Chain A
Amino acid sequence: MATKDAPVNNPMVDPVTGEYRVIAPGHTFKSVTEKVSRIVLTSHTPLGWWFGFMVAGSVVGLLMVCVTWLFVRGVGIWAITIPVAWGFAIVEFVWWIGIGHAGTLISAILLLFKQGWRNSINRFAEAMTIFAVMCAAMFPVLHLGRPWLGYWLFPYPNSMNYWPQFRSPLMWDVFAVSTYATISVVFWYMGMIPDLATLRDRSQSKLGQFVYGLLSVGWRGSVRHWVRYETASILLAGLATPLVLSVHSVISLDFSVALMPGWHTTIFPPYFVAGAIYSGFAMVLTLAIPIRKFYHLEDLITIRHLDNCNKVMLATGLIVAYGYSTEVFMSWYSASHWEYFMMWNRMFGPMGWSYWTLITCNIALPQLLWSRKLRKSVAFTFIMSLIINTGMYFERFVIVVTSLTRDYLPSSWGTYRATRWDYGTFLGTLGFFTFCFFLFIRFLPMIPMSELRLMLPQAKVRERAEPLPEAGD
């Protein structure tokens, strides 16, 4: 992914290739290690961190209130009705899972494609995945009505002599999402082991040495270990890639297996996956831009990263646009009265505003990303990432609500209007996500130090002695 129009005298530009550098020049093994580990090992927690942590924590309080009230009163406090039996719960489930997908994409697919620039952002993109999957998993469980019986979803021998039914995509979902969560955690943790060893060795406090020592399982950097570790990383990346594609495909099958107009279509799996990656990259940028500013990580998360993420968003955004236009085309080409009405209703029915919000946020405005100048503007990128996340939320809202409120029989038509508990729960998961993220950046290395070292020019082994490469510190 070349970016070849930068001014030549800019130190961030490599004079040989004319590309923006992935890491600012002048860094050494020691300096990158210190820069990243200092954030975690400092005994002085920044005030800004406390402030953000408290705000996020109080929003988690809101989530607790909403969930408690839900347990007391039941799912009737949400706006779910017949015909919209899932409402916000499934909108937010799909939205959160989609956000998680970029983390896996960055850590797995870009690793397989040997995209070195991913190294600075993969760790916190993976963390984002895990927290997003946690938020997503709350919704189907809360929506169960009797969430304490959620374990009935799993096949296990029981006194009711009952087993789950594996011909339903909802059952597939259980396995897709639980596998996804497990593999994401394993991938994230395994990638962190060498960095946890660095923290163990650099920590000044007894507690830190003990905890990081425990977590790093005695990693000592033996090259034999590294060889196996690298094999395992590549294999996990190779496994996570088809996994991430399957997860959102399975989620889309929850819809497309149903005979609902607007749902019953084969375009759903690829278009859901593209949408997931689209929103996920937007969320990566939403998180990365404030973090690099606050922790002064502009050397490690550079304009190159923002530019590349913007390009990925532009590309996936166009795939999503293709998905939308296929839907419109098929509703006409199918010659089905119901499909035709569904599309008309989406565009011009009582909820038409949500469709046009979606088109504006997801297709119209992101076309500005064609401009090189705007792609490199930090403020613009941040705003665009928020716009795309909003657009992707509306995409799921449109799919769920407009199809369900007006299906085949006008006598069973209804409407949908979310309650304050719906909004409260959604806001609460946003707070929970942020809360987890604050804990993560304070206690774990958010940038993979061992992979950054590998990116430095002095990491290359030169066959002959003279001239010796610059020493490691």
Chain B
Amino acid sequence: MPLPEGLYGLMAEFDSPSELVRAAKAARTAGYRRLDCYTPYPVEEAAEAIGFHRDEVSLVTLVGGLLGLAAMFGLETWIAVWAFPLNIAGRPYFSWPAFVVPAYEWTILWAGLSACFGMLALNGLPKPYHPVFNAPNFRDGATTNKFFLCLESTDPKFDAAETRGFLEAQSPVSVVEVEY
């Protein structure tokens, strides 16, 4: 795939989360749909403002946990009943109460790994390169104390001059172009 060139979007910088949320709401109301906010800590209101309500991490975790449970309980049963049956104090081969503990641990293990790696995968990480890092002021503040709203050029409503005008009306600290 050829690397895309040109303008990725326009990035407005804000000093406070409240200003960011107000601008994001305004952008959404104005009809922008391909947009994202970048914040140094989780700002739930900003996610709401850009229309991002639900995520699939819980589902991934549930599936992972159930798989872990089935994997360990199945393995224990197979070993104890078929592969290596041992008579332990006359207990039945399928002595399932004793199998609960490792199965429980693996439920948690697989669910936990699914939660973490599922979250990363859904986020498209690891992704060392991303156009937003090209914005000159981004790395200075995005992970410290600044709040960014980026309207992306793939949005049908995006127009370099008009969008810039819209962002400047939201009283940001600055508006910069983000190149690919």
Q: Which A residues form the contact surface with B (CB < 8 A)? A: 28-30, 33, 155, 161-167, 169, 171-172, 175-176, 179, 182-183, 186-187, 189-190, 194, 197-198, 200-202, 213-214, 217-232, 235-236, 239-240, 242-243, 246, 250, 450-451, 453-454, 458-463, 465, 468-473
Contacts and interface: CB of A to CB of B under 8 A. Distances in A.
11 contacts: A169-B101, A172-B105, A214-B128, A217-B120, A220-B142, A223-B37, A223-B50, A224-B36, A232-B57, A240-B112, A473-B15
Given A166-B102, A220-B132, A239-B112, A472 B146 contact: yes
Given A163-B79, A172-B102, A453 B108 contact: no
B42 A29 contact: no
In the A-B complex, the 7 residue pairs with the closest CB atoms: A29-B145, A217-B126, A232-B119, A163-B84, A226-B42, A218-B127, A198-B143
B124 to A, nearest CB: 9
A454 B88 CA distance: 55
A172 B130 contact: no
Given A221-B39, A228-B119, A239-B65, 9 more contacts: A165-B80, A165-B88, A171-B102, A183-B108, A190-B119, A235-B58, A453-B145, A461-B21, A461-B43
A109 B171 CA distance: 41
Given A451-B41, A453-B41, A469-B18, A226 B47 contact: yes
B106 A459 contact: no
Given A236-B115, A246-B104, A197 B143 contact: yes
Interface string B20-39: 01100000000000001111
Given A218-B127, A225-B125, A179 B145 contact: no
B52 A223 contact: yes
B44 interface: yes
B122 interface: yes
Interface in B121-146: 122-123, 125-130, 132-133, 139-140, 142-146
Contacts of A172: 101-102, 105
Contacts of B98: 166-167
B75 interface: yes
Contacts of B111: 235, 239
A118 to B, nearest CB: 16
Given A223-B47, A227-B52, A165 B86 contact: yes
Majority secondary structure, B binding face: helix
Given A225-B125, A227-B52, A242 B108 contact: yes
Contact of B38 (A223, A228, A243): A223
B137 to A, nearest CB: 11
Contact of B102 (A175, A198, A236, A454): A175
A179 B108 CA distance: 8
B105 A243 contact: yes
Contacts of A223: 36-39, 42-43, 46-47, 50, 52
A33 B112 contact: no
A179 B105 contact: yes
A164 B126 contact: no
B123 A468 contact: no
Given A179-B108, A461-B45, A226 B39 contact: yes
A163 B83 contact: yes
A201 B16 contact: no
B118 interface: yes
A222 B143 CA distance: 10
Nearest to A469: B16
A65 to B, nearest CB: 35
B95 interface: yes
B125 A219 contact: yes
A183 B112 contact: yes
Contact of B37 (A155, A183, A222, A463): A222
A126 to B, nearest CB: 14
